[in-house]
Structure 1
């Protein structure tokens, strides 16, 4: 005890002069504040430097080279699917009585508070974008996040905010800042601004063209498409400019191709990692194909997230019939030209999963869950409010007390909690800005393409 008292007195004696200086010397406080500000400025500058690099292009490739890379990506996806199915089969043999916990749908305003205790929240939107209910529910999630974490530094990183090729425009948008980033959902961007939430553009959509060729940015690649290339054409916009139509078609097919999804996910992960240390809460809003967290190239896996929440938005409000037809045409042409092979991949995935889960209690619980979802949907009364449920990791482990070695059942146990939100009508309506047909930036062929970014 005497030694402890002696140590404490010695410690206080050492610190006493410092305390005295802090009281007498205001200069020290100023120097400390300047040092902290300088450190923060240096971190901000380093973050902006990394983000600037993320706009750069390292290699120009031809359409044929892109197709070769795409074939490799398709093979990788099939291998991944088979490995996941094998892992699932082995795990169900090791845990023969595993079940999905019973769920109960609610027809009310979702309580998202459980999600906001984690660093990452992945908000996935069903594959058909352009519905009104999904972005409006994201606005409600942003409001709930700000209410739950009033003093937190919050970031919204989204697929639907993209860099347009303006060299001086930052990928990071601060609240109230003017920006030339393009927003597919301007109402979401405006809501984040009002709530003091920073935004990060994950995608790129610069319109590059010369007299004959168009160029599509894909991560670190720039894909050159000539008039001679066998490119399926679409008409997604009201623009009647043939050059823009070719660029838009090339961008659409590249974006949904296995290679495109992979390269975009790599890019998104790099951008998010560059800003990650600056934020307390990061919400990532993207299509469900990027956030399914089962394959090795999905975004949560690339970010190496250990503790996160999922919010899965499933809109049922019908999109414009013309837009729906465009989506259907894109998928059909993608398969016809062997760019996507969506149906083949889906059928293989379904077959392998059915084979792995056949005659198991896990499959029986999945079927029961599907039946409960259908019944809840049939009994849905107030369609101004969504149908929703939440499932936590604790719920899963409580229903499976003897569960061993979490591995293949990532959809059910990796996330700390998962919400499924079925939407019929947007809870708030806002006007969307009309689409504008942009003019192309001249993009000469040659090795100096970096100077045009």
Structure 2
């Protein structure tokens, strides 16, 4: 999982070594020649940098080129979604089997040492020793406290790494289909990207942090058919397709209602989550080499679902920090009802399988851990969390704890990797942050009823309106 700097930086190494030789070589009256070499060297360095930037821009542009997408029907989406459901359950079962093997080989293994919640501003300093920091937002995307804490993390990152090139890649910065919009936003640069959390976007701008849009929401339609962009696919939904519909009270346009409903259900489906994660990984990989520190902000379903589907796995990250934000904001009744309706309809129409997945995961974990010290340590953490939450004194500050690689190794000094497993247990830095209620009431965003965007004319897409 470690980088190979010699392989990755070979061209750069050769150029720097050449520069070293010419800098210290005897001049002997050849000053003009060396000056020419210096110029050529500078041009070579600029060319390499330019080529790298052009390659990055080309990759990002391909992500927004509608003519490169593969058209699939709603029926084809449902077929692919069934395969994704099977993959998710298979992954859950494999992980449970791996845990069972680990516990047989390590009967004294604990999940973690005894934890101690602190009621204070979190100290994220250990997180910034890793190149990647994944920030997962739990419960829903409609809290105020989660984005406020992300702003605190961004400030802490800039203070800890004042000269670092920092990137914030987030699910909540979205491409809406504008043909000239760049997925990469530079600080202070005007952008046509949509920000679900404008306060986070503004804070990143002020801190000199670049931002990368991970998700898409272009509203495409042709006559009565609507189209949802999903990674490298374009899913077409017709009025005849059995699509569950959600209610959009401020927008009674049937076409928009169908598109927005399709967008929601496709996005939360097992196939949708996986394809979106593949897309996010492609975009992050395209810009990865340009940054010293990369923060990824997304919902927990993308970062802590099953290891085979998680963004960390798709990015091949082995050494990273994970900050899990657990909001305690009172949820608006209307918002809560919308989430409940979406869940019930998703399960009823067989688009999602959250209930089956959760039941299977619980059953397998219980089966693998029953009667073990590991299970006792899990129960102990649950009890400590409950007691800390119950005795939470200063509600203006979060409750949090962190675990590092050193903590885990100290708790399991005799850990042995079972022969059946190829890799050692992955250790990284983990933070769990129970957030205080927000300082400011959430502003209600007025719902708008947009018109469909014009799709570009090309060999595959011609008469879209």
Q: TM-score, normalised by structure 2?
A: 0.89
Distance 1:169 1:72, change over 3 A: same
Partners in 2 of 1:198 and 1:158 — Cα distance?
A: 11
User: Which region of structure 1 is more displaced relative to structure 2, 56-65 or 215-224?
Assistant: 56-65
Structure 2 residue aligned with 1:7: none
Q: Deviations over 1:21-60 (max 9, x none)?
A: 6799766555443432332122111100011112234311
Distance 1:12 1:105, change over 3 A: closer
1:113 aligns with 2:122: no
1:299 aligns with 2:311: yes
Q: Deviations over 1:342-401 (max 9, x none)?
A: 111110111111110000000001001100000000000111110000001110110111
Partners in 2 of 1:185 and 1:23 — Cα distance?
A: 56
Partners in 1 of 2:81 and 2:446 — Cα distance?
A: 33
Distance 1:30 1:226, change over 3 A: same
Question: C-alpha displacement at 1:341, in angstroms?
Answer: 1.7
1:348 aligned counterpart, secondary structure: helix
1:92 aligns with 2:135: no
Structure 2 residue aligned with 1:344: 356
Question: C-alpha displacement at 1:442, in angstroms?
Answer: 3.9
Question: C-alpha displacement at 1:16, in angstroms?
Answer: 3.5
Distance 1:323 1:447, change over 3 A: farther
1:73 aligns with 2:84: yes
Partners in 2 of 1:193 and 1:404 — Cα distance?
A: 46
Q: Choose which of 264, 271, 275 in structure 1 pairs with 2:287.
A: 275
1:332 aligns with 2:347: no
Distance 1:21 1:96, change over 3 A: farther
Q: Deviations over 1:146-181 (max 9, x none)?
A: 010011000001111111111111111111111111
Question: C-alpha displacement at 1:321, in angstroms?
Answer: 1.3
Partners in 2 of 1:371 and 1:22 — Cα distance?
A: 75
1:371 aligns with 2:383: yes
* Stretches of structure 2 lacking an aligned partner (at least 5 in a row): 1-19
Distance 1:421 1:15, change over 3 A: same
Native 8 Å contact 1:91 1:408 kept in 2: no
* Stretches of structure 1 lacking an aligned partner (at least 5 in a row): 1-10
Question: C-alpha displacement at 1:425, in angstroms?
Answer: 1.8
Q: TM-score, normalised by structure 1?
A: 0.91
Partners in 1 of 2:164 and 2:439 — Cα distance?
A: 26
User: Which region of structure 1 is more displaced relative to structure 2, 162-171 or 21-30?
Assistant: 21-30
Question: C-alpha displacement at 1:120, in angstroms?
Answer: 0.3
1:130 aligns with 2:142: yes
Distance 1:186 1:407, change over 3 A: farther
Partners in 1 of 2:168 and 2:420 — Cα distance?
A: 29
Partners in 2 of 1:72 and 1:113 — Cα distance?
A: 41
Q: Deviations over 1:62-101 (max 9, x none)?
A: 1001000000100111111111111111110110011121
The two structures, once aligned, show a CA RMSD in angstroms of 2.7
Distance 1:20 1:172, change over 3 A: farther
1:63 aligns with 2:74: yes
Partners in 2 of 1:12 and 1:215 — Cα distance?
A: 58
**Matched residues, number:** 441
Native 8 Å contact 1:309 1:415 kept in 2: no
1:35 aligns with 2:50: no
Native 8 Å contact 2:136 2:303 kept in 1: yes
1:82 aligns with 2:111: no
Structure 2 residue aligned with 1:49: 58
Q: Deviations over 1:115-143 (max 9, x none)?
A: 00111000000041110000110000000
Structure 1 residue aligned with 2:9: none
Partners in 2 of 1:127 and 1:178 — Cα distance?
A: 31
1:312 aligns with 2:321: no
Partners in 2 of 1:365 and 1:211 — Cα distance?
A: 58
Partners in 2 of 1:237 and 1:55 — Cα distance?
A: 30
Structure 2 residue aligned with 1:4: none
Native 8 Å contact 1:187 1:430 kept in 2: no
1:244 aligns with 2:256: yes
Structure 2 residue aligned with 1:101: 113
Native 8 Å contact 1:186 1:432 kept in 2: no
Structure 2 residue aligned with 1:141: 153
Partners in 1 of 2:317 and 2:28 — Cα distance?
A: 42
Distance 1:445 1:39, change over 3 A: closer
Structure 1 residue aligned with 2:11: none
Native 8 Å contact 1:80 1:296 kept in 2: yes
Native 8 Å contact 2:456 2:462 kept in 1: no
Structure 2 residue aligned with 1:288: 300
Distance 1:342 1:12, change over 3 A: closer
